[in-house]
Structure 1
Amino acid sequence: AYGRKIKRLTPEDRVAYDAVYDSITDVFFRENPQGKELVEWKYQRFMRDYAKVVKSLDDNVGRVLDYLEKAGLLDNTLVVYTSDQGFYMGEHGWFDKRFMYEESMRTPLVMRLPKGFQKRGDIPELVQNIDYAPTFLELAGVEIPDDIQGISLMPLLRGEHPQDWRSSLYYHFYEYPAEHMVKRHYGVCTERYKLIHFYDDIDQWELYDLQTDPTEMNNLFDKPGYESIIEKLKQELVGLQTLYGDSIEYRLRDKKL
């Protein structure tokens, strides 16, 4: 992926890019940081690059909005700002971004609504990125295919609160072993609780109360008093796996379900 991005640069951009990062590389090899200094160097380098990217994104969101306004399109356009998951920067002692913990399960979602939508502020309902496609299709007046798994967010954008809206979210990561080396796991998350099962070559369950433990530092799965909550979450988990057509082979590997 890195090589493909580099090839997209114009010759002039490549010269400017190399001038910046070659100088950084020269300093790195000259100083040759080790141990804690190496960790701190990597962290500072990553965060500075990250902050510059965020600054560029902010500038260009402004450019897009300015263009839409000048072109007379702003009131007829849904503007959506979202992203991939964020990388862990030491939370839980983890790496990458593919774990089901809150820091990477949640992603930004900000919308500027077209004219006629009066909703402002936060939307408390549980939404997923699979909801984007049906939302865009409905807003454009296009029929939503039956095989789309998400739900259009249009009622929420109108300020409605449907009584039958989803009460839980499903997660499943199964790309292991692979480049990122995050263990296979699936789970279910409600407004208050999260149940995670790491499976395949390990068998480990985790339960968190997001109300009393929002940073998910206290695994309650083996604590007395949570048996009925775990049973309900497992039933919800199987229901979501069935709803989304997730492979039953993963469920059958664990006899506890």
Structure 2
Amino acid sequence: MPTLLALAGVDVPDSVQGTDVSPVLRGEKQSVGENAAFIETTRGPVGIRTLTHLYGVDKATKNQRTTAVTDDRYKFFDILRDPMQEHNLATEPSAVADGLRERVLRWDRETPWLEAQ
């Protein structure tokens, strides 16, 4: 919504979530913000994808309901060097992986799935 408002020449209210990407559409910038997307499925991994890396965490399930992460079932790929995601680098020390791991686990804690009533 911020992009549409900006393109229409309307100020974006503080209460509106999102990022104005109109400078990219107008060719004024190559990118806006950090260019990362969080990934989530109903019963499975959560992850984060940046321009250069993909980091995912397989979550434990109980009775087909997703619960907390219980062990180190992680996946980490260098998208630039390994675009087909054939070489999992999760077991190799990496400051990038550590940072992405913290971000995806924090995001998962802060945005839980709502249980059906």
**What range describes the TM-score normalised by the shorter chain of this pair?**
0.5 to 0.7
Kindly report which structure 2 residues correspond to 1:224-243, keeping only aligned pairs within 5 A, or say none. 224=92, 226-238=93-105, 241=107
Contact 2:7/2:22, CA 8 A, preserved across alignment: yes
- 1:206 aligns with 75
Identity of aligned residues (%): 24
Structure of higher CA gyration radius: 1
Which amino acid is 2:60 matched to? D
TM-score (norm 2): 0.67
* Change over 3 Å in CA distance of 1:221–1:158 after alignment to 2: same
Question: What secondary structure is seen at the aligned counterpart in 2 of 1:171?
Answer: strand
Kindly report which structure 2 residues correspond to 1:155-194, keeping only aligned pairs within 5 A, or say none. 155-161=23-29, 165-173=33-41, 175=42, 183-194=43-54
Q: CA shift at 1:142, angstroms?
A: 3.7
Q: Distance in 1 between matches of 2:76 and 2:9?
A: 42
Give yes or no for the alignment of 1:138 onto 2:6: yes
TM-score (norm 1): 0.34
Question: What secondary structure is seen at the aligned counterpart in 1 of 2:24?
Answer: helix
* Change over 3 Å in CA distance of 1:200–1:238 after alignment to 2: closer
Task: Considering Cα pairs closer than 8 Å and 6+ residues apart, tell me whether 1 or 2 has the greater RCO.
Answer: 2
Q: CA shift at 1:187, angstroms?
A: 1.0
Which amino acid is 1:230 matched to? A
Q: CA shift at 1:190, angstroms?
A: 1.7
Structure having the larger proportion of residues in strand: 2
Question: What secondary structure is seen at the aligned counterpart in 1 of 2:85?
Answer: coil
Which amino acid is 2:77 matched to? Y
* Change over 3 Å in CA distance of 1:147–1:198 after alignment to 2: farther
Q: Distance in 2 between matches of 1:135 and 1:164?
A: 11
* Change over 3 Å in CA distance of 1:186–1:146 after alignment to 2: farther
Structure 1 residues 18-56: Cα deviation after superposition (integer angstroms, max 9, x where no partner): xxxxxxxxxxxxxxxxxxxxxxxxxxxxxxxxxxxxxxx
- 2:90 aligns with 221
Q: CA shift at 1:232, angstroms?
A: 1.8
Give yes or no for the alignment of 1:247 onto 2:116: no
